[in-house]
Every structure is written in structure tokens, then in C-alpha cells.
């Protein structure tokens, strides 16, 4: 059985961070992509170390509701930069065609 940790490295997390929507809403921590990116050289290696050691816990998701054309609303969740980057890295490790 292969461990997912062996597929995720610093370069993959940097690629995933770069692929995020840079104009997206700030996450639950109030930080935008630009805020997170300013500290990327410190935060990405820390995130990887937490992930590989088993100490990483996915952050809370900020839930908001946006109106639909039929008058109903649909939920929209916003993670913080590290949470979204780690999720994208996991997805790419399992499904490299994404």
C-alpha cells in the first residue's frame, strides 16, 4: 500500500498554490491569496512538515450562500490558502490528470 505522503512535496504545494484563483474571496482566516503568497517561503514548508508528520488538520471552511436564478440559494465554501493548496495537492496525487 502506498502512502499519499510520498507523493506530496514542496514543489507540488507551490504549484497548487499558484493554481489557486488569485482573485478569490479571503478564507475563513481572513487572508487572501496575496496575503498567503507574501509568506509562502515560510508557510509552505511548514504546511508540508505538518502534513507529513500527521499534525495537519484541515482548516474550517467559511460557508456563505449565494443566490441562484430561481430565487433559491446555494452554499459556497471558502478555505484558507494552505487548506486549499493541500487539498489540491492531495487531489493531484490521486488523480494526476486533474
Instruction: Tell me the backbone φ, ψ of residue 16, rounded to 5 degrees.
Output: -65, -40
Percent of the chain with pLDDT over 90: 13
Mean pLDDT on 33-40: 87
Does 88 score more than 60 pLDDT? no
What's the average model confidence in pLDDT over 37-58?
88
Residue 82, number of CB atoms within 10 A of its CB: 24
- Determine the average pLDDT of the residues in 68-93: 67
What is the tens place of the pLDDT at every residue in 5-14? Answer: 778 889 988 8
The pTM is what? Answer: 0.61
pLDDT of residue 30: 77
Amino acid at each position: 500500500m502506498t502512502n499519499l505522503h510520498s507523493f506530496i512535496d514542496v514543489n507540488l504545494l507551490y504549484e497548487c498554490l499558484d493554481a489557486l484563483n488569485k482573485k478569490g474571496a479571503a478564507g475563513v482566516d481572513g487572508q487572501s491569496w496575496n496575503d498567503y503568497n507574501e509568506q509562502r517561503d515560510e508557510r509552505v514548508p511548514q504546511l508540508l512538515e505538518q502534513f507529513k508528520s500527521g499534525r495537519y488538520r484541515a482548516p474550517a471552511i467559511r460557508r456563505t450562500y449565494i443566490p441562484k436564478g430561481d430565487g433559491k440559494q446555494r452554499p459556497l465554501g471558502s478555505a484558507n490558502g494552505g487548506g486549499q493548496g493541500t487539498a489540491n495537492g492531495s487531489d493531484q496525487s490521486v488523480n494526476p490528470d486533474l
